[in-house]
Amino acid sequence: MVYRNKGFRFVMSFIMLLFVLACILPFILLISSSFTSEAALTLNGYSFIPSEFSLAAYRYIWSVKENVLRAYGMSFLITSVGTALSIVMTMLFAYPLSRKDLPGRKALSFFLFFTMLFNGGFVPTYLIYSNIFHITDTIWALIVPYLLMNAFFVIMVRTYITTNVPFEVIEAATIDGSGEFNTLVKVVVPMSKPIIGTVALMTAIAYWNNWTNGVYFIQVKRELYGIQNYLNSVLSNIAFLQTHSDPGIQITELPSVSIRMALAVIALLPILLAYPFFQKAFAKGITVGSVKG
């Protein structure tokens, strides 16, 4: 067998090592840059070992810790509520599509797939959300647009249910007197935990990293900003102060680049800590849920 060939295993191990380094080295560079002084970053650029160690970026973040904690709390709230609603809506859509006895199943599948190829465009979408649904400057502006349900995730879940939840099990539950909702909750959902974990992780990452909804729909109530939008506003404020500061005040020495790196490190921590708990379900869900279309 080819897998027993030592040369083949060495080459594959070397390739995998390169992939691992490509994933890890940017994080090391990010963390190192956050502990480097602004002058050293400007003069020498980025390096894996700080050429001039400095905690200026983290001291600045500590000076505005109330705002950072509030933005963190908003990101956790938006991510948890949005992910939970997204999973519920995805399951409620994917389960009927997995049933071959669903009337109009092909038409619904077509309309679902159609949304992956075409959309109404940004301006009509913005006008609908702001003028009809009136979500501007509300927390729903950070949850509903673009992220609440993904057609690709619906297809993944539908495929998983079709290939891994035997129809005989669903049929047996129906014969025993179980309704459709009860079958979904007590039969399908427990057997679909890997794909649910996969979709939950991918949705949570999308919510946590999203900043465009805040830019588009939050105009006055900046206290609704999540950590990504707060990071963007901090960088904008520092850039403004550096170009419009009083000559007698050394505002230009504010560590704008290192602050960007430090805030990125802080924003990444929850995802890095959560991923190991979802890794097993994520790998299994991606492998099994994407085998058939």
| Cα–Cα dist 263/121, whole Å | 32
State the architecture of 65-289 in CATH terms.
Answer: Orthogonal Bundle (1.10)
Going by C-alpha positions, the residue among 133, 136, 143, 150 that lies closest to residue 75 is 143
| Cα–Cα dist 73/77, whole Å | 6
pLDDT tens for the chain, 293 residues: list them: 445 677 778 888 889 999 888 888 888 888 888 888 877 777 777 788 887 888 888 888 888 788 888 888 899 999 999 999 999 999 999 999 988 888 888 898 888 888 888 877 888 888 888 888 889 989 999 999 888 888 899 998 998 888 888 888 888 888 888 888 888 888 888 888 888 888 888 898 899 988 889 888 988 888 888 888 888 887 777 766 666 655 554 544 555 677 778 888 888 877 777 777 666 655 555 555 444 44
Q: What letter does residue 188 receive in the DSSP assignment?
A: I
| Cα–Cα dist 60/71, whole Å | 16
The reported pLDDT for the residue numbered 27 is: 85
| Cα–Cα dist 86/108, whole Å | 19
**CA-based R_g, the chain, Å:** 24
Going by C-alpha positions, the residue among 169, 212, 189 that lies closest to residue 94 is 189
**Residue 258 amino acid letter:** S
The reported pLDDT for the residue numbered 85 is: 94
| Cα–Cα dist 162/99, whole Å | 8
The reported pLDDT for the residue numbered 282 is: 58
SS3 of residue 76 by DSSP: helix
Show me where the domains of the chain are located.
Answer: 65-289
pTM: 0.79
Q: Please give the distance of CA 101 from its chain centroid, rounded to a whole number.
A: 34
Per the listing, tokens 């980025």 go with 46
Burial class for 123, CB neighbours closer than 10 Å (0-12, 13-18, 19+): exposed
Contacts of 117 (CB under 8 A, 6+ apart): none
| Cα–Cα dist 164/156, whole Å | 12
Phi and psi at residue 50, in whole multiples of 5°? -55, 125
| Cα–Cα dist 29/50, whole Å | 9
Q: Is 104 left (phi over 0), alpha (psi -120 to 50) or beta?
A: left
| Cα–Cα dist 175/95, whole Å | 18
The reported pLDDT for the residue numbered 254 is: 57
